[in-house]
Amino acid sequence: MDKLNKRIVLVTGATGGLGTAMCKKLYKDGYRVVGNYRSKEKAKAWLDKMHEEDYVINLFYGDVSDYESAGHLIKDIENSIGPIDTLVNNAGITKDTRLVNMKKEDWYEVINTNLNSVFNCTKQVLDGMIERKFGRIINISSVNGQRGQFGQTNYSAAKAGMHGFTKSLSMEVAKYGITVNTISPGYIGTDMVMAVPEKVLNQIIAQVPIGRLGGTHEVAHLVSFLASEETSFITGANYAINGGQHVY
Ligand code: CAA
């Protein structure tokens, strides 16, 4: 096993559509992959499926929207597997509705899960990365954090917030060999996207020059690229992967 093969990656939101594809790709690329779960039943079904497909990936309990729970998650992983070299802040939810109809809970749940989770996890892996002089932090944002989306004030605000976080933190930790980057996927064929009403989704796909939804494997490929040793000069960047839907 070379050095790369011993790197440990934590993917938050591992059991979702994008998270699953990331875990598989990172595993195939030789990383030790771990994720978190919130529902025991969902975790068991997911682990059974991974086992069937010959992936060796561990899940640990942790609600990343909560600082204490994220701390326990990270401690548990570090105690039983080892120090986290790469953190993929991927956990995210939607509560889409126009602001006039948005409940206070819809706002806070999305901000806590999609943005505060990034602080909760990054803050608690950072000291170790600084000590070891290596780290990769990869924040999964969205095209809708760059351009806005009708019905997503909460989600777009959280995803836009990640960009500021990435840029600022990249400056603070560059000298320790830690890179911090954002990936902004467009509409990818996940359950989250397929929950958008069909008529609305068709209108969105019509705005995508490539003319289709993205594949989860396409985003996973980019994650693995940014996790690699060779990307040590890439930091503070945003990688758009949206089929040309938003160019800037
Ligand atoms: N632009 C302008 N006006 C719009 C509009 C749009 N995109 N969508 C709806 N409207 C208008 C409607 O025509 C309607 O107008 P009238 O009252 O004058 O007829 C009005 O807004 C209200 O429409 P609805 O009754 O449909 O509004 P709603 O509040 O019930 O539903 C919604 C709105 C739930 C947000 C629905 O439009 C929707 O699901 N949109 C898709 C949101 C989306 O893209 N989510 C992405 C999820 S996946 C993801 O987030 C992953 C990622 O990173 C890309």
Rounded to an integer, the average pLDDT of 119-123 is 98
pLDDT of residue 60: 98
| CA atoms of 75 and 79, how far apart (whole Å) | 6
| CA atoms of 27 and 19, how far apart (whole Å) | 12
Q: Ligand 1 centre and the CA of 168: distance in Å?
A: 32
Q: Is the pLDDT of residue 141 over 80?
A: yes
Q: Are 198 and 232 in contact (CB under 8 A)?
A: no
Cα torsion at 47, 212, 183, 191 (round to 10°)?
-30
Strands 86-89 and 8-11: parallel
Q: Ligand 1 centre and the CA of 144: distance in Å?
A: 13
Arithmetic mean of pLDDT over the chain: 96
For ligand 1, atom 22: residue with the closest CA: 98
**pLDDT tens digit string along 157-194?**
999 999 999 999 999 999 999 999 999 999 999 999 99
Ligand 1 neighbour 102 (Cβ under 6 A): no
pTM to 2 decimal places: 0.96
Q: Ligand 1 centre and the CA of 150: distance in Å?
A: 5
Q: Is the pLDDT of residue 1 over 80?
A: no
**pLDDT tens digit string along 185-227?**
999 999 999 999 999 999 999 999 999 999 999 999 999 999 9
Ligand 1 neighbour 28 (Cβ under 6 A): no
Query: What is the best residue among 96, 140, 208, 238 to mutate for testing ligand 1's pocket, by most ligand atoms within 8 Å of CB?
Result: 96
Q: Ligand 1 centre and the CA of 241: distance in Å?
A: 22
Ligand 1 neighbour 110 (Cβ under 6 A): no
In ligand 1, the atom with minimum distance to the C-alpha of 150 is 7
Ligand 1 neighbour 98 (Cβ under 6 A): yes
Known catalytic membership, residue 155: yes
- Domain spans of the chain? 3-189+216-238
HEC per residue, the chain: CCCHHHCEEEECCCCCHHHHHHHHHHHHCCCEEEEEECCHHHHHHHHHHHHHCCCCCEEEECCCCCHHHHHHHHHHHHHHCCCCCEEEECCCCCCCCCHHHCCHHHHHHHHHHHHHHHHHHHHHHHHHHHHHCCEEEEEECCHHHHHCCCCCHHHHHHHHHHHHHHHHHHHHHHHHCEEEEEEEECCECCHHHHCCCHHHHHHHHCCCCCCCCECHHHHHHHHHHHHCHHHCCCCCCEEEECCCCCCC
pLDDT of residue 50: 98
Rounded to an integer, the average pLDDT of 98-111 is 98
27, 31, 37, 155: the catalytic one is: 155
Q: Ligand 1 centre and the CA of 245: distance in Å?
A: 17
- Topology annotation, domain 3-189+216-238: Rossmann fold (3.40.50)
In ligand 1, the atom with minimum distance to the C-alpha of 197 is 39
pLDDT band at 4 (very low <50, low <70, confident <90, very high): very low
- What percent of the chain clears pLDDT 70, i.e. is strictly above it? 98
Q: Is the pLDDT of residue 3 over 60?
A: no
Q: Is the pLDDT of residue 108 over 70?
A: yes
| CA atoms of 238 and 193, how far apart (whole Å) | 21
